Amino acid sequence: MNKLSIILISLLLLTSCGNNHGQKKRIAIAQVGKEILYYDEMPKLIQRGVNDADSAALFQNYINKWAKRKLLLQKAMDNLSPALKDEIAKQLEETRSNLVIYQYQRQMILEKLDTVVADSELENYYSANENSFVLPSNIVKALFIKLPLETPDINKIRSLARSNDHDELQQLESLCYQFAEKFDDFNEDWVPMDRLSVELPQNIENEENFLKRNTFFETSDSASVYLVSIRDYRLRSSLAPFEYVKDDIKRIIWNTRRFEFIQSLENGIYNDALKENSFKIF
């Protein structure tokens, strides 16, 4: 057993026991200049089943990395110019200030900012800013099914996939649960056409013509049959449906509120300081 293994076992024994008052004494492991590495600062490297040699190697590796970093920092501090040290100090203070301000703003937002956005507010924003909601791509409401070629009674699934009847769609879902390799029901949600076309074995060359000419599409490859039922669509460069951009509008309104709240918070603190004479311009 090497020296480090013996030290390691001793440390484990020491840290498993407290003093007479139930308090653990901090144990120094290594030192670089005035910097000390204590045993309780080290990660939990020792796990059950790890032998002494492996534990010692893990500890030695961690200590070496710690020492190299501290020595490098010490060397850097000894050799950096005063101007660079001043610049680092300014950057650290700026980072600290930004972090403190951010956390305070976040706390005030959590406590006081109203995050509820009414549907009427969303709809009003949508109506007033329609030019901002032009679709960059084609979108669809659709049903997509991928089936193995040997699927039993596939004609029934084809028929049900064309239906709009609620009971028949439930029956379709039950059959797809049994046989389909993939079943995506986008009847209620708008999705980009790209999300659908990527599932097909061949590219759709002209999406606009495809959507105008097809309400139901079927294709296959050597292993699977692909069924697509198009329930609705909107073409690129047209106005996006409200429900498609509803979440985006909510984020826009919330971010606007957040910005205005922070501006109001800053102005309020500034004006209070002027009234209390805690801020002066010379």
SS3 content of the chain, % helix, strand, coil (to 5): 55, 15, 30
The string of pLDDT tens digits covering residues 139-161 is 999 999 999 999 998 999 999 99
Take residue 233 and report the two structure tokens written for it: 């669509």
pLDDT of residue 185: 80
Q: What is the mean pLDDT of residues 227-239?
A: 95
Whether 110 has a pLDDT exceeding 90, the answer reads yes
pLDDT of residue 42: 81
Residue 210's contacts (CB-CB under 8 Å, 6 or more residues apart) are: 204, 217
- Per the DSSP assignment, residues forming a β-bridge with 249 are none
| Topology adopted by domain 135-234 | Chitinase A; domain 3 (3.10.50)
Distance (Å, whole) CA 226 – CA 232: 19
Predicted structure pTM score: 0.71
- Fill in the DSSP letter of residue 224: E
Burial readout 106-145 (b: 16 or more C-beta within 10 A, e: otherwise): eeeeeeeeeeebeeeebeebbeeeeeebebeebbbbbbbb
For the chain, what are the domain ranges? 3-79, 135-234
pLDDT of residue 261: 96
Q: What is the mean pLDDT of residues 1-9?
A: 55
pLDDT of residue 59: 83
Residue 142 and residue 196 in contact, taking contact as beta carbons nearer than 8 Å: yes
pLDDT of residue 21: 54
pLDDT of residue 271: 92
- DSSP states along 150-170: T-TTHHHHHHHHT---HHHHH
Whether 24 has a pLDDT exceeding 70, the answer reads no
Which of these, 80, 82, 84, 67, lies nearest to 33 by C-alpha position? 67
Take residue 258 and report the two structure tokens written for it: 């957040």
For residue 240, name the pLDDT band (cuts at 50, 70, 90).
Answer: very high
Tell me phi and psi for residue 221, to 5 degrees: -130, -160
Residue 71's contacts (CB-CB under 8 Å, 6 or more residues apart) are: 32
The string of pLDDT tens digits covering residues 149-192 is 999 989 999 999 999 888 999 999 999 999 999 998 876 789 99
Distance (Å, whole) CA 275 – CA 271: 6
The CA radius of gyration of the chain, in Å to the nearest whole number, is 33
For residue 1, name the pLDDT band (cuts at 50, 70, 90).
Answer: low
Mean pLDDT of the chain: 88
